[in-house]
Structure 1
């Protein structure tokens, strides 16, 4: 049956009530879409608007096949009609467009035209085009893991498919056989860039034809019936077969890319006239009348009804409250677990010391036993007796199975992005990822990491990514570039993620337990040089807990405060002992344990005693986290200082591979002692 015959069959066999409902939704979506630029002209809002006109048919179909009781929808910024079709009211569309506090997507915290309703599984997605494909794959993994009904639906423009993480998402969904439908709305342009400058194939879906387990469907995205048939088939097939589908829908973009674009600068009059002629709504109206499924009067009555609805929604939008300035600090961090047995993260355990790696491995296993909704994945995570590049996860897959402990591809975006997605499925889920084998290799995942840090804030607390990102960090192993460097200085600039960096086995165990019991995201940096070091080994009490934001005084003193963390903590303690034996001074050593949030109170109370402070860390001095510590001290404790704040860290170079170069670059006891003596003599 050819497409024209199918179209006639569909229009004649679909009940009239449904046909008129679709027309109503199409007109409602277009009316809101057309009205959006007026809000900008009047300085009311909608400062970003990407018109949906020309995509109406495929978007109507996406919204109609989406079942909010079981499916998960990830719309992109052009999906206004999709969200109207899925059930968002005109008021909810306008609240988002003019950034009102009543916006169900996130209370005006995210860019206009980014529609969502998390309580209905219509997810709040980023402005980074196409990155939600990874989130859709992640939640599809959860659907499959929990043997739930439904599918994930991810929608995007064809040009965003050029992004590397889109390929990672589709390849991963193919490998894992996940029930996700990837919709490509192909209008021929990426802003002003024509499709021919983006890819070799005329249809971008053809780029994926070699992937196993993947079905690809093509449809006329300008035609309501072809779009509806194709989307219905795609969702049904993905759910029944538990495999991914791509729907490639040909559309037209009737207007400019957005309100900041002028398409007449790169499209000629013939093309502009052509896209107007292929208006999906005009075509649908003609078909309804031609095949006697509706009269002109009936359709005009719907048009008038839509005008009234939009007018009423506008009035509601004008009356709706704006976000309050004082709310900006709400929902930056999700609630952290508050330790009960060890509220200060201190103990007097005297049992046999355990290595830092043993503390991590043991705590992971204990928490996996405690919460069956806990998962871990990453590169080299589980293959026979190996558990991670450093064996931190050794024995976990054997005990907890392949569904909870598994290998990820060498695709850091996929590892991080699917964690974001899977955590959306259930608030009880806790995810641990080895974001990369070494912290230095984490940079490919940075877009996904940044995205995840502001999910809780952006959704106004409606979604919390409950994820612990483990990274083996630091040097002193002769690893050189990509195996010996620190990244906490750069990542601490991002609000929304807690950062911990333990120095001893007990703190590593306690902080990991707190991370896994908390909501929100924690970056867990592990000094790999200390994994098996005897000096980092300590007794670990049963179910030891360490609160976030609580430093630990490793050595008390009255003459100088050293603030440190990670590998350099042990060096600072050694220096303090050496200077004490000389009778020169008693140095207090503060092990931060948590960088974000920072324990300012412990630092300031120590400086009140000592009047001198040395900040030491392994990372570079320039741009390192110590600069923030020093600035904080200068801001709130300057009056207690009798000497300048001094810092010790790495040279402002990469870390060299040759041990001679490494020693010249990284801090050591000699460099720390020299700085301490200078401060004491000031």
Structure 2
């Protein structure tokens, strides 16, 4: 692969374009600084770093893939990203106008005033929105987006037209664990198969790109560290021992690391252009762009000398908080790409005179001042306008019943999961399934996917590293690219390693930015086999997921619900966590007839699994629903009529069905496998207690919650089974679930009233 010969050399016109890009980016920031008091929230500028965005975006433009590639700017690069798109590939509406609206929280802005400053993006132009303040998270989600570009857009394209992913983050963010996970993920995705390994695939799952590059999946990603020499107040020594960041790339397969002068836009262009060619051959590059932030971390940390702002002399500073060496700052000013280094280079090369360059900067300043004034005159977001839509996830898809008279098959829990997964993969080319140890003939540790890998192969069903945070990040990026990723935590408890991505990026961003994360997380929960696997394998995560307000949580109770809820989750445009009962597998309590034709179960609606008149039992999860239904049959012999309400959707819970049931029974028990004290039961009881109708119907002063007796699972079998709210009873037909604890709570309510 010849790289240098394929790179377009810059003309003098291109070099002047680089200056114009940087001048416009600088003018945007200066206008914000001059109007600081009119801008809510923090103001983080990128003075001195404009060359990084100008050079890299021009490289994408000259390669002809600026629009098609995914760009994930960090907060310093976002200014230059919007400007570069407007200048190099202008389209209405201008992105710089929308970014300005975001700073001024205008109603017409993409975020509608809910998330300000650089927390912006334009997915329609493949600029990754700024999802959270963890810049490493934003960058690694873009890795998943790039994977989806390779999977669904590369086939049939000449190699020079293949879109790639360019992700930016700072030297501070580069020290976070997810960056290592992401680079390792890219290395694994770009793994070269041997001729023997490809032969074993027998051409069954090989597209033309795999045949060319010997890579089954592929992540065409360029990492750019915007190394501005310090974090908020922390210098490189304290942050990462002043290590050689570019050399870190040597530890990852098919990745090289390069250092570049981040104040030289032509050097940035050249290195990015070469990195693009490598990425189009599924070889990654880590570019460390060295520059200097000519301001405080936050603009308010820069103290200017008297009259400096009026003169637009933004380097005439008296003090910068966190910077002890002001002389170092003034030396860096001489290398400023706008007023110093690049300007001098252009004059020396006779590309432009000082007067021409000054005129360009003055013109950009006037345009940005005018843009600010124009946007400032636009309507600001109002409380009443905001209140028109405060949904936290997209609307639910309509449910559909199976065809009348459709043939059915009696299935077990796990077989139903593998069956519907196979159908979704066949029906929808966007769908992939991945996780830890799932791509094998056994179907993974819990045998959930038996037979699926052998049918669909390693491009669509594949193993992932033990990197839960990166598993979720990749899925999030794929979803934003229009894919439909399903991924499996080996055990539900493992979700904790990815909790911040759920909490910071996925859950809030329908409300904030109307971002559609159409992903499905599979979380096997509860007792494993006969018990004794302990806290790290048997926990239930819903008590933490529900308060995030933005994640739909479902818990299928039997094979019929596994199929119906999985299809509903697949048709939904938002994120869903599916809580599967680990031990359900092939136990008789969880078998049911499954129609062979398509059907879905409505999200957000509970189901009355057993009708009764005396006590309402609200429950979810396969084991608890089975135990409640079985206990209803036993209690009926005592003259107690139990109504079992199976939530199906744990969040958002269906209080309407619950209240309708309690209107009939006057009594309510909440029954789940999670811990009593801070589980979903207490959250749901609090929601019900705030409803006037519920309070008028219920006859008892409290709502008993029956659940696990200790906060953590344990290993000793006797202790473990005492903890659970149900027990297993052996019968001639196999294991049957019962709950003496539930029965006692029900009898207590009956005797009370």
SS at 1:493 equivalent? helix
1:133 is aligned to 139
CA distance in 1, matches of 2:638, 2:68: 70
**Structure 1: gaps of 5 or more residues:** 1-5
Matched ranges for 1:346-425 at <5 A: 353-383=410-440, 385-425=441-481
**SS at structure 2 position matched to 1:190:** coil
- Structure 1 residues 499 and 552: CA distance shift in structure 2, 3 A: same
> Shift of residue 632 of structure 1?
2.2
Q: Which of 435, 447, 471 lines up with 2:500 in the alignment? A: 447
| Residue 64 (str. 1) matches residue 62 (str. 2) | no
Describe the superposition over 1:617-647 as per-residue Cα deviations: whole angstroms up to 9, x where unpaired: 1101211111122122212210111102211
Measure, in 2, the Cα distance between the counterparts of 1:430 and 1:111.
29
SS at structure 2 position matched to 1:230: helix
* Partner residue of 1:26 out of 17, 22, 29: 22
Whole-angstrom CA distance in 2 between matches of 1:361 and 1:189: 50
Q: 1:64 to 1:505 in 2, by over 3 A?
A: same
Encode CA deviations 1:129-159: one digit per residue, 9 max, x unaligned. 2112322221221122225211100001111
Does the aligned pair in 2 maintain the 1:382–1:394 contact within 8 Å?
no
Q: Is the 8 A contact 1:562 1:613 kept in 2?
A: yes
The equivalences for 1:629-644 within 5 A come to: 629-636=684-691, 637-643=694-700, 644=702
Q: CA deviation at 1:165?
A: 0.7
Are residues 1:305 and 2:363 paired?
yes
Counterparts of residues 554-573 of structure 1 (less than 5 Å): 554-566=609-621, 567-573=623-629
1:93 is aligned, of 99, 110, 118, to 99
What's the counterpart of residue 469 of structure 1? 521
Please identify, of 586-595 and 541-550, the stretch whose mean Cα deviation from structure 2 is larger: 541-550
- Shift in CA distance, 335/312, structure 1 to aligned 2, threshold 3 Å: same
SS at match of 2:251: coil
Aligned-residue offset at 1:350: 9.4
Query: Could you tell me how far apart the structure 2 residues matched to 1:18 and 1:197 are?
Result: 39
- SS of match in other structure, 2:100: helix
Q: Secondary structure at the match of 2:535?
A: coil
Tell me, yes or no, if the aligned pair for 2:531 and 2:715 is still in contact at 8 Å: no
Q: Quote the residue 1:81 is aligned against.
A: 80
The more displaced of 288-297 and 545-554 is 288-297
5+ long unaligned stretches in structure 2 = 87-93, 155-161, 191-218, 303-319, 727-738
- Residue aligning to 1:654: 712
Deviations 1:364-418 (A, max 9, x none): 11121111221100001112x1212111111112111211111011110111100
1:111-260 to 2 correspondences below 5 Å: 111-125=116-130, 126-148=132-154, 149-177=162-190, 178-239=219-280, 241-259=281-299
Q: 2: distance between equivalents of 1:369 and 1:306?
A: 53
The equivalences for 1:265-284 within 5 A come to 265-281=322-338, 282-284=340-342
Residue 298 and residue 260 in structure 1: after superposition, are their counterparts in 2 closer, same or farther (change >3 A)?
Answer: closer
Question: Structure 2: how far apart are the matches of 1:498 and 1:605?
Answer: 23
Q: Which of residues 708, 723, 726 is equivalent to 1:665?
A: 723
**Does 2:455 correspond to 1:456?**
no
**1:371–1:509 CA distance, 2 compared to 1 (3 A):** same
Cα distance in 2 for partners of 1:340, 1:544 equals 5
Structure 2: how far apart are the matches of 1:340 and 1:353?
20
Which residue of 1 is the match for residue 703 of structure 2?
645
Shift of 1:488: 0.6
SS at match of 2:520: strand
2:203 is matched with which residue? none
- Asked if residue 48 in structure 1 is aligned to residue 42 in structure 2, the reply is yes
What's the CA shift for 1:260? Answer: 5.2
Contact map agreement 1:217 1:234 (CA 8 A) in 2: no
Kept after mapping to 2: 8 A contact 1:64/1:86: no
Which residue of structure 2 lines up, in the alignment, with residue 587 of structure 1? 642
TM-aligned CA deviation for residue 523 of structure 1:
0.6
Aligned residues: 659
Give TM-score scaled by structure 1 length. Answer: 0.92
In the TM superposition, what is the alpha-carbon distance from 1:265 to its structure 2 partner?
Answer: 3.8
1:131 partner SS: helix
Partner in structure 1 of residue 748 of structure 2? 678
The runs of at least 4 consecutive aligned structure 1 residues that moved more than 6 Å come to 347-350
Cα gap change, 1:555 to 1:108, in 2 (>3 Å) = same
Q: Distance in 2 between matches of 1:260 and 1:204?
A: 29
Give the whole-Å Cα distance in 2 for the aligned partners of 1:680 and 1:37.
69
Decide which of 591, 600, 606 is 1:537's aligned counterpart.
591
Deviations 1:225-246 (A, max 9, x none): 212211222122222x222111
2-structure distance, mates of 1:443, 1:205:
30
Aligned mates of 1:264, 1:303 — CA distance in 2: 28
Aligned partners of 1:225, 1:280: CA distance in 2, in Å? 11
Give the distance between the partners of 1:321 and 1:257, measured in 2 at CA. 30
TM-score by length of 2: 0.84
Paired residue for 2:631? 575
Structure 1 stretch displaced more, 441-450 or 149-158:
441-450
